[in-house]
Structure 1
Amino acid sequence: MTRSVGLVGWGAIGRTVGTALAAGAVEGAELVCVVDNRAIGDAPAPQLSFDEALERCDLIVEAAGQGVVREWAERILRSGTDLLIASAGALTDEELTKRLLAAGPGRVYVTSGAVGGLDLLQAARGLGPLHDVRLTTTKLPSTLEQPWMDEELLTRMRTATGPVEVMSGTARDIPVKFPKSTNVAASVALAVGDMDAVRVRVIADPGADRTRHLIEAQGPSGAYRFEVAHLPDPDNPATSRIVPYAVLRSIAAVAGRSGQIL
């Protein structure tokens, strides 16, 4: 069965995902429409309203930010449509997560995004709770600036000549403060099974030619350390170039493509 895909968001992630789907890059998945609150003229499928997308699609792919998940996810699932979430940071809200898991009959999926090793962390967690879980994310200062920051912090980031710690906290706290830059924190916490168990440091580094995520964890089965260093997306440096391809891989898994490692 071919999945009828509605893509929410036509930004750096959505453009790559939508263009690939329209070109037939994912067997068993067809791009039916694009949903965006801006008028777009270059999409390879019709731009429809949210209501129209629900009528035509059996899989909605979110590539537009945490706000879309909070506003639309429950309704999508209640309609019987499946949902693939790219903005995992929205799921730091445990009440929202509980509602989504209970919503149905549509199913909810979360893509791995810009980080690896999540499957191994999930497997290790089966032997007992992981502890001393740490994530260090390093990005260019300009990609981390937020409206809530005071002038002292902004000046420190903008004039830095080396790495500067911008914030530290748990995976529950950080994605709320950096909604476009730290979805990885939520993804790691979902794999570990505890938002409060993952300690996160956000580092601004003017010399960061790559976006780096370092994950460290220990548990009954051993110790784990993963590091990725991604090239930023040229159109949106707040995200990594790899993210839309992680979304495409997840769509392929949902569509039931055989012969791959899940």
Structure 2
Amino acid sequence: MNATRKVGLVGWGAIGRVVGTALAEHRVPGAELVCVVDNRPLGEGAPAPQLSFDEALERCDLIVEAAGQGVVREWGERVLASGTDLLIASTGALTDEELAERLLAAGPGRVYFTGGAVGGLDLLQAVRALGPLDEVRLTTTKLPATLEQPWMDDELLSRLRTATGPVEVLAGTARDIPVRFPKSTNVAASVALAVGDLDTVRVQVVADPGAHHTRHVVEASGPHGAYRFEVAHLPDPGNPATSQVVPYAVLRSLAALAGRTGQIL
């Protein structure tokens, strides 16, 4: 019988609240919410005590990151070096290859990531075993306001704010795009991790004022076949930069790590 995973949750935002509430209500067998780490007060009704990162590492055997790429960069190696496992929601951090290599080498804790708002990653991983894909394209479409970034010049910001239809914001590889949109394009990193090559995945970011759903289209082809996946999610009402489904993808990954059996994972 598997021991109960003692979970420390980093982040009490749109993702963290859903994940933390589900854990506190014992909806993930084999996982127990021990604490929440956040640099802001949690307020009344938090389902677990708010602890420092150091305290969380002392009490937990699994840390769930739900607070952004910066947490992975700042704390990832230390979490793993302490012997604590790490589940990453902000996969965009892993497009920094030096960081990814350091995390893989850190141990003895193990690092995991969740696919978040995109499907088909398991199939892409399987196809990758047959040989490299020739072409992989990801087109992500979101509301313009969710894509505004500090590095944008006045001309681009004006195009976003006055758009009456779809507007291409930026195109590049999965190596480049998640760095430019750290809260909006973790999907690009997840696809690249599945494919195994950051530079093969070409990414187009589109702003559309009529985008009631966040849309991701993955198209891949190679010697062994051609594949297309399309998903359209409702944005989270509290944080439109992320999709409502993301915390549930985190919970599914948690369930797998907690030892759920009898289903295809």
TM tier relative to shorter chain: over 0.9
> Residues of 2 paired with 1:43 and 1:153: CA distance?
40
Displacement of 1:220 in angstroms is 2.3
> Residues of 2 paired with 1:92 and 1:146: CA distance?
19
Does residue 133 in structure 1 map to residue 157 in structure 2? no
> Residues of 2 paired with 1:241 and 1:123: CA distance?
27
> Residues of 2 paired with 1:190 and 1:40: CA distance?
33
> Residues 74-89 of structure 1 correspond to what in structure 2 (within 5 A)?
74-89=77-92
Name the structure 2 match of 1:22: 24
Does residue 53 in structure 1 map to residue 72 in structure 2? no
Partner of 1:84, secondary structure, is: strand
Partner of 1:126, secondary structure, is: helix
> Residues 107-186 of structure 1 correspond to what in structure 2 (within 5 A)?
107-186=110-189
> Residues of 1 paired with 2:263 and 2:19: CA distance?
19
Letter of the 2:22 partner, please give it.
A
> Residues of 1 paired with 2:46 and 2:147: CA distance?
29
Write the deviation string for residues 207-228 of structure 1: whole angstroms up to 9, x where unpaired: 0000000000012220000000
TM-score, normalization by structure 1: 0.99
Name the structure 1 match of 2:211: 208
Write the deviation string for residues 24-53 of structure 1: whole angstroms up to 9, x where unpaired: 010000000000000112310000000000
Letter of the 1:45 partner, please give it.
A
Residue correspondences, number: 262
Letter of the 1:174 partner, please give it.
I
TM-score, normalization by structure 2: 0.98
Displacement of 1:259 in angstroms is 1.1
Name the structure 1 match of 2:200: 197
Does residue 238 in structure 1 map to residue 208 in structure 2? no
> Residues of 2 paired with 1:246 and 1:259: CA distance?
18
Does residue 3 in structure 1 map to residue 16 in structure 2? no
Aligned to 1:43, which of 42, 46, 57? 46
Write the deviation string for residues 170-223 of structure 1: whole angstroms up to 9, x where unpaired: 000000000000000000000000000000000000000000000000122200
C-alpha RMSD of matched pairs (Å): 0.5
Aligned structure 1 segments of 4 or more residues deviating by more than 2 angstroms: none
> Residues of 2 paired with 1:224 and 1:43: CA distance?
43
Name the structure 1 match of 2:14: 12
Name the structure 1 match of 2:107: 104
Partner of 1:106, secondary structure, is: coil
Identity of paired residues, percent?
Answer: 83
Partner of 2:130, secondary structure, is: coil
Displacement of 1:132 in angstroms is 1.2
Displacement of 1:246 in angstroms is 0.1
Name the structure 1 match of 2:262: 259
Write the deviation string for residues 111-137 of structure 1: whole angstroms up to 9, x where unpaired: 010000000000001111012100000
| Conserved 8 A contact 1:125-1:219 | no
| Conserved 8 A contact 2:134-2:223 | no
> Residues of 2 paired with 1:155 and 1:127: CA distance?
45
> Residues of 1 paired with 2:21 and 2:163: CA distance?
38
Partner of 2:199, secondary structure, is: helix
- In structure 2, the gaps of 5 or more residues are none
Letter of the 2:32 partner, please give it.
E
> Residues of 1 paired with 2:73 and 2:159: CA distance?
33
